[in-house]
Structure 1
Amino acid sequence: MNVIKKFGLPVLIASTTALTLQSFPIEKVDAAQVVSKAATPTLKTVKINASTTAKVTDIQMMYGSNEKTVYYTVAIYNGSNQDLDFGDYWVELYSKSGSKFTSKLDANDAKDTKIPAKTTKEFHFSAKVNYGLTINNIKIKFLKWDFSQPDYIRSLGEVSIPSNYSNVVPSATGKVVKIGGKQMSSMLAKSEFAVIGGQVEGSLTYRVTNYSNQAIALNNINFYIKRSGGTMNKLNVDLGGEQQLLSGAAKELQLYGTLPINKIDPNMQLIVTVTDEETKTEMPLATYAITPVGQQWVYTPVNKERAITIDGTKVNSKLRDAFVSTTGTTQQVSMYMSFANKGKQAVSLPNYSYLLMTADGTLYPQVTTTTNAATSTELLPGLLAEKYLQFNVPSSAKMSGLRLVVRQTSEENKKGFVKGLYNVPTTQNQQNVRTVRYNSKQGLFNITVERGERLPWGTQDIINSIITISNTEGGMKSLPNLKATVMLNGYQVDEKDIQLIKTDNIISLDSNQSTNYILSAKVPYTFKSSALTIQLSEVTDSAAGAQSSIGQFNISSTSLTPPAIGLTESIRIAGVGRAATLKLVNRAIYEKKDSKMAYVEFEYNNDEKRIADLANLQVFFQTKDGNYTQGTFVNVKSKASAGRNSLVQAYVVLPSNTDTSELKVLVGEGITGNTFTPADGTADGFVNAKSYTLPMTNMTAPVTFQNMALNPYRINIKNWSTYQTDSHEYKFEFTYDLSRLYNYEYLAGGHKLVIQLVDGSKEYEKAFELETGTDAWKLGEGIKTSVTFSDEPLWGLLFRDFTVNIYDEYQGHRKLMASQKLSATTTNQ
């Protein structure tokens, strides 16, 4: 054989033998990779007459259950000036020990044995031999029919196959084969094997180039793996949709299959045959050495791409970002797989089967959901598409050494064949995962679950999560149409109890912009859960119900507690057109006979640059025993000016014996359906709650009527004088100063100032409104006014001491502002 270099690759020139298909057992398989070998020596040439030579150019073997068949090709060169009839000659195959095996000439060759002058013609023979015979133990004799000889034959010479001869194509070496007289270079470019599910599976890349001027039918080529001992296993072939190899064209054929063994055989070979379209006989073309790729390279390394072909188009695949979460006895492993079309036309991503393999070889199928079941994904040139994969494995399974097996299946081949093998990235605890990268048709987004919260609401609890979507790449992108599924310890929340709220009224994001969504779900307040699981997907076709998974996020129950803030910290309301700040400025307990009221005051500032509605706020109060009671938040129902503050209140009425020493107050933004509650609307839930811890113990009231504060007012009462206007009627005159400490745009209002006279066991009082209303006190200094009380027991008040109390009254409950003991002969100068 002559070795030449062509197109940068060594090409081993040889011809092939065409023979009738022999009976041998065939099983389906996959192949591996090429082995380096020493160059094969050239076989001896035999002179069969003065100007004609014969040469054995190729020897192949096929293996049956108890026998072998040798296929060999003899090239005859007719150097004379006239035709030669090879029918006058014959060949015989022997073992070197002398055993003779009958050779048969191929039926097509037998039709024409004439060899024109000055040409070479090939004749193909086959011979069944015993199973133990090897190529290096063969010799081929050349004979001429000669009736002058005793046995009518004359020996012309023989070719003995030397011990260093091999018919196996070495590693990384090409071989030119002939198919119907058409030349095709071939090379086994790569072979990969792995033990999957207790059996060896392989993937081969067979590279071919058509050197002839006619197309070659690729669907007539067959591929087998010969294992140690001679068992043949047939391979599946992925032709990439094209059955013909055009003149001058090159192509890579993908070969796949499964071997019924559980260890990789180091002595495998690839045998390639072709089926004659007319006679339906199978002819061996070549035998290739297989050296499996090292196991460290069979599985695509983490963060590396693996090239696959889809309908003849190159597609780069890659596995990224694996996560694990544990619920009870099950671990859920999830990951992303990307596909990048490197071709010039769109292709459809097949519905591959995805299997997760643990280090001990156990296989777990992909969890089928509505978002990954039998939906076709179009891969556009130059763009990236991703699949979100989920697998359930026992909690006892080790998370180290995980691998992903991707199979391509069909109706005819349910098991399918391996399309790709990947090392799974180191799994991250899903509890700690907050951000995933998601590729939509619009491009790449970062999607982050910022935090979660569990809040009270009547007989239910509200579970909320803040979701941020960021455009991390250049260019404006439409926002994905999100859909969410919520699970609590395996319990799936009813879809009607889930709201997804956009905090900003936008439909797209520019480069480096972000926006928030709020996911809100309701569950019975008695439902206990150790973790919140959120499954996000993009609705890609609402009419067809098509969805694309984005990712899964787990939040532990310990992370659902609303954030606590200090008394001097502010709550910031975020969102386009909604920016505002809420600051705690006052807290107190108001009381009446059978109940008490916890009361909180806030300054509420519009942080927008124009007038805007202030967000509708909701409030809950939690007592020391852990019980929640919904309070009333007095919202501003008119638009607030930019940069202006308003004074708002929140309160709750509690039983008079309630311990309020460790009261907690939850304040959040009201929601109604899938949107924020309007300023004057009615909420059916709330989100973004913050928690204050408010010690609510009132201080001892001062004994002076100076500098009394009833926000936003400062009040002074002085020059108190007492007059008896009738036997049982007394008039109390005084002056007051009423000023504003702060100039708020809006006051929630509702407060009254109550002056109470206490004479022994008798109490007399009068309430005044401030600034507006009937008999309301006006802003100013030194304003004279009076209050009159009439009652028979008051007789003689001029001759005894009495007490005057000043109260702040709100919603029928009071807080003592000041208390002073007076007499008719004294005033409170």
Structure 2
Amino acid sequence: MKRIDRSRNQRSVLLSVALSAALMCTALPTAYADGGAAPVAAAASLGRVDLSGSSFVEVKRVNMLADQNGRIVTFTLSVTNNDTKDISFVDYWVRLMTKSGAQFTVKLMPQDKDKNTIPAGSTKELSFYSTVNEGTSLTDLKIRVIKWDFSVDSFERTLGEVEVPANFTNVAAAGAALETKLAGTNTKLTVSKFTLGKNEKYSLPAITLVLENADAHSLTVPAYQFAVRAQDGSMYPLEAKGLKDLVVTPQDKKEVTLSGNVPVSVPTDNWQLVITENVTDLKRNIPVAAFQLPAVAIQDGAEAGKEVQFTDEHGLYTAKLNGIYRLPWEDQDIISADMLIANKGTSDSLPIPQLSGYFLLDGAVKVEAKVITPAKVLGLSNGAAVGMQMAAKIPYTYEFSKVKLVLQEKTTDEKTVDVLEFETPAEVMNVPIAEATSTYQLEDTGYRSQFSIDNVKTYEGKSTELLAAQVVVENKEKRFANIAKLLAHFRTADGTVYPATVAEVKDKVGPGEKALLTVYSILPKGVDKSGMNVLLGEAVTDGKLGSDGDKGTGSTDTGTGTSAAAAGADMYIKPFSFWLPQENKDVKTPLQDIKLGPYTMSISKVGTTMDIEKGQLDLKFDYEITKDLTKHVNVDGRKLVFELNDTNGLRVIEWSTEMNKFEPQASDTPATPQSSLRVGKYKEFKINLYNGDLLWKLSFLKQYDLNLYEEFQGHRRLIATMKNTWFALSD
């Protein structure tokens, strides 16, 4: 009896000090290689041992992990009690041994230490671990189930053995789903995505692991460790993004993004993902699951329009190059790369990556680039994207055949490493020119808008002419917003470039409302404008978009038509271009529906009078000015000029008014004498004109032309005309 008590006490001690299992891999898909036998996976059952006529034990989830402390083997016994009374597992035990007979100490996992009883009609799982010697492999092992029996000399009776098959694998095939238990919860694990970036020092694996809760209660995912296992067995840790405090509710899925660095000298063939859990009491990691990773092409270069991925300590990013463009800038050119950085495949937000980089021309000339990121974007939520630009300047005379964009990022130890490369031939660097009737969508957060060309106007000067394109901008934001600040150039068919000025709208524009921007440039007379286009882009100052920066942006109307650089910006990005439409040069006669965007003016009952005593000539007329309230327009610098030109050539008399005074003034009252034109409908508006010696030429006066001009920056365009008899009233 004493011997029996001591033996049972020893078994109780073994149960109390055992530690929990972590490898919970189940059936892997069948795969055949070279026509051989299908490998036996870490299946639902490697074998069965009967405990009685109706109760039995199955061996499941066998795994091995090698680390600095040696090799640890874990396995699980599923005990099914189909009897009518409880089974006490204290009466049983398990041995781990090699097929040649060498035996290893087996211990029960901590979470199973109290599973001493398997009630009738139920099934329980018990997990075990054992440390084996360096030369032992899984297929060398077998598991023996015993029952304590003190009637025999060894005190134990063998009930049966389960061998690990010679063609056994504990690694899930590429693309396979593993149905397992995590923290006691039935869970399906899948590697949904695997990409491999590269820089000069490291291969950059990025793995998306999907956890699907197949149980009826929530899963709180333990703090697992992840690593890439190379073909030679070397392990390289991965950082898990989205794992901390992750809870997966029943029937829901969550993604965990894994990323890390593997020296480029390590071959990338046959990599595996290994998942482990650190058991504090054991002071070592135990295996949870392993996946064969598919072969992938290393992302050591990409082209425009192709999505590629890169990782850093924050997680997995997707990058796409929309295009690399060569843009005119005074006596230089700008090389501008337009990219989209997105957060795809993670359930968490990501910060905007702090990238730097350079352009490599013809594989030899390195040009450092500035990075421009919109200031209104703080981070990337799941599925979100942000535009990012890189730009540099080169002499406009420099020729090259191909350009490579190299993206870089600083590591946590402040080292700069290459992240991605994009390459494109020089001949595709031209900005596509859209039809004059088309639109362009700007997707910058906070400045989402649609651009189109409304019309083109030419104003004449003595030795120059002013070309103006009216650009319509529609606010696509859901709130009042500023219009993005632009820089512009006109380009002729032969490639000549003329810097342009943008008369911006300074007020915020409401949702769905429009602004009318005037893009203009003063040209020498005789410039061929057939086949001309306008090139536009967002202004940049000190690496910030003009809309976000504190300094001038080059979009401000300087009133001189000077270059963009003289107006404050140092470059521009995100270019887009329109062909200029055919100019409408119609001159209104009679003086009805005269377009002065955003105003429309009509004039009637025109007449002149002469006060001989005062020597004063007056022009009188009725008029109506209406305003298109759906458009915001900057009319600074624009004038309406009235010209009376005697048909005998005796005299030309002018009067002008500022169009920015068309709006009613705060000081206006019904009794206020009207000295300038206003929005509204008025009768007998009178203009006093200087007459000089006209009084003495009355006998020669017969008819005159009343010409209306729109004047802008000292240049004029005729917009309306009529003939009338001196001192008579027109219809």
> Normalising by structure 2, what TM-score?
0.56
Distance 1:143 1:342 in 2: 48
Indicate how the Cα distance of structure 1 residues 104 and 462 shifts in structure 2: closer, same or farther if over 3 A, else same: farther
Offset of residue 255 of structure 1: 1.7
Distance 1:82 1:747 in 2: 112
SS of equivalent to 1:609: strand
Pairs within 5 Å for 1:449-488? 468-471=471-474, 480-483=482-485
Gaps of 5+ in 1: 1-16, 22-33, 488-496, 522-531, 557-564, 582-606, 613-636, 644-672, 681-710, 716-737, 749-769, 782-829
Offset of residue 417 of structure 1: 12
Indicate how the Cα distance of structure 1 residues 296 and 261 shifts in structure 2: closer, same or farther if over 3 A, else same: closer
1:552 paired residue among 573, 576, 582: 573
- After superposition, give the CA deviation of every residue in 1:546-568 in whole Å (9 maximum; x if it has no partner): 99999527899xxxxxxxx9xxx
Distance 1:117 1:101 in 2: 31
The residue that corresponds to 1:194 in the other structure is 197
Indicate how the Cα distance of structure 1 residues 83 and 356 shifts in structure 2: closer, same or farther if over 3 A, else same: same
The residue that corresponds to 2:611 in the other structure is none
Whether 1:444 aligns to 2:436 is no
- After superposition, give the CA deviation of every residue in 1:149-196 in whole Å (9 maximum; x if it has no partner): 565555444322223322122344322222332322222222222223
Offset of residue 284 of structure 1: 2.1
Distance 2:301 2:173 in 1: 21
Aligned-residue identity in percent:
16
- Cα pair 2:322 2:339 within 8 Å, conserved: yes
2:700 paired residue among 753, 758, 779: 779
Indicate how the Cα distance of structure 1 residues 579 and 336 shifts in structure 2: closer, same or farther if over 3 A, else same: farther
The residue that corresponds to 1:103 in the other structure is 105
Offset of residue 199 of structure 1: 1.9
- Cα pair 2:447 2:475 within 8 Å, conserved: no
Distance 1:417 1:87 in 2: 61
Offset of residue 276 of structure 1: 5.2
The residue that corresponds to 2:340 in the other structure is 337
The residue that corresponds to 1:675 in the other structure is 636
- Cα pair 1:190 1:205 within 8 Å, conserved: yes
Offset of residue 267 of structure 1: 0.9
How many aligned positions are there?
Answer: 558
SS of equivalent to 2:110: helix
Over the aligned positions, Cα root-mean-square deviation in angstroms equals 6.7
2:322 paired residue among 302, 320, 323: 320
Distance 2:551 2:200 in 1: 36
- Cα pair 2:183 2:220 within 8 Å, conserved: no
- Cα pair 1:471 1:477 within 8 Å, conserved: no
- Cα pair 1:144 1:153 within 8 Å, conserved: yes
Whether 1:90 aligns to 2:11 is no
Gaps of 5+ in 2: 1-18, 24-28, 33-37, 490-498, 523-534, 556-568, 578-582, 605-617, 625-633, 657-690, 703-731
The residue that corresponds to 1:249 in the other structure is 252
Distance 1:533 1:443 in 2: 16
Indicate how the Cα distance of structure 1 residues 378 and 294 shifts in structure 2: closer, same or farther if over 3 A, else same: closer
- After superposition, give the CA deviation of every residue in 1:457-477 in whole Å (9 maximum; x if it has no partner): 9xxx9999967344397x999
Q: Which amino acid aligns with 1:130?
A: E
Distance 1:298 1:149 in 2: 71
The residue that corresponds to 2:528 in the other structure is none
Q: Which amino acid aligns with 1:610?
A: S
Indicate how the Cα distance of structure 1 residues 127 and 352 shifts in structure 2: closer, same or farther if over 3 A, else same: same
Distance 1:553 1:180 in 2: 50
> Normalising by structure 1, what TM-score?
0.50
Whether 1:165 aligns to 2:165 is no
Looking at secondary structure, tell me which structure has more strand per residue: 1
Indicate how the Cα distance of structure 1 residues 515 and 265 shifts in structure 2: closer, same or farther if over 3 A, else same: same
- After superposition, give the CA deviation of every residue in 1:423-446 in whole Å (9 maximum; x if it has no partner): 989984357768963125364322
Q: Which amino acid aligns with 1:273?
A: T
Distance 2:245 2:455 in 1: 50
Pairs within 5 Å for 1:354-503? 354=355, 367-368=369-370, 372=373, 376-377=377-378, 386-392=386-392, 399=402, 428-429=428-429, 437-439=441-443, 441=446, 443-446=448-451, 468-471=471-474, 480-483=482-485, 500-502=502-504
- Cα pair 1:333 1:390 within 8 Å, conserved: yes
Distance 2:417 2:82 in 1: 54
Offset of residue 231 of structure 1: 1.3
Offset of residue 50 of structure 1: 5.8
Indicate how the Cα distance of structure 1 residues 445 and 252 shifts in structure 2: closer, same or farther if over 3 A, else same: same
Q: Which amino acid aligns with 1:480?
A: N
Indicate how the Cα distance of structure 1 residues 463 and 76 shifts in structure 2: closer, same or farther if over 3 A, else same: farther
- Cα pair 2:175 2:294 within 8 Å, conserved: no
Offset of residue 676 of structure 1: 1.0
Q: Which amino acid aligns with 1:552?
A: I
The residue that corresponds to 1:239 in the other structure is 242
Q: Which amino acid aligns with 1:177?
A: T
Whether 1:69 aligns to 2:72 is yes
- Cα pair 1:317 1:340 within 8 Å, conserved: no
Distance 1:241 1:410 in 2: 22
The residue that corresponds to 2:674 in the other structure is none
- After superposition, give the CA deviation of every residue in 1:111-143 in whole Å (9 maximum; x if it has no partner): 446233544431312223325x43333333444
SS of equivalent to 2:139: helix
Distance 1:376 1:200 in 2: 30
Distance 1:152 1:547 in 2: 93
Indicate how the Cα distance of structure 1 residues 450 and 140 shifts in structure 2: closer, same or farther if over 3 A, else same: farther
The residue that corresponds to 1:123 in the other structure is 127
Indicate how the Cα distance of structure 1 residues 505 and 52 shifts in structure 2: closer, same or farther if over 3 A, else same: closer
Q: Which amino acid aligns with 1:170?
A: A
Indicate how the Cα distance of structure 1 residues 262 and 358 shifts in structure 2: closer, same or farther if over 3 A, else same: farther
Offset of residue 366 of structure 1: 9.3
The residue that corresponds to 2:48 in the other structure is 45
The residue that corresponds to 1:756 in the other structure is none
The residue that corresponds to 2:602 in the other structure is 610
Distance 2:620 2:517 in 1: 24
Offset of residue 283 of structure 1: 3.5
- Cα pair 1:388 1:551 within 8 Å, conserved: no
Pairs within 5 Å for 1:665-704? 675-676=636-637
Whether 1:134 aligns to 2:137 is yes
Once structures 1 and 2 are overlaid, which stretch shifts more, 355-364 or 371-380?
355-364
Indicate how the Cα distance of structure 1 residues 571 and 377 shifts in structure 2: closer, same or farther if over 3 A, else same: farther
The residue that corresponds to 2:352 in the other structure is 351
Distance 2:177 2:388 in 1: 41
SS of equivalent to 1:675: coil
Offset of residue 62 of structure 1: 1.4
Distance 1:124 1:275 in 2: 15
- Cα pair 1:450 1:466 within 8 Å, conserved: yes
Q: Which amino acid aligns with 1:71?
A: T
SS of equivalent to 1:170: coil
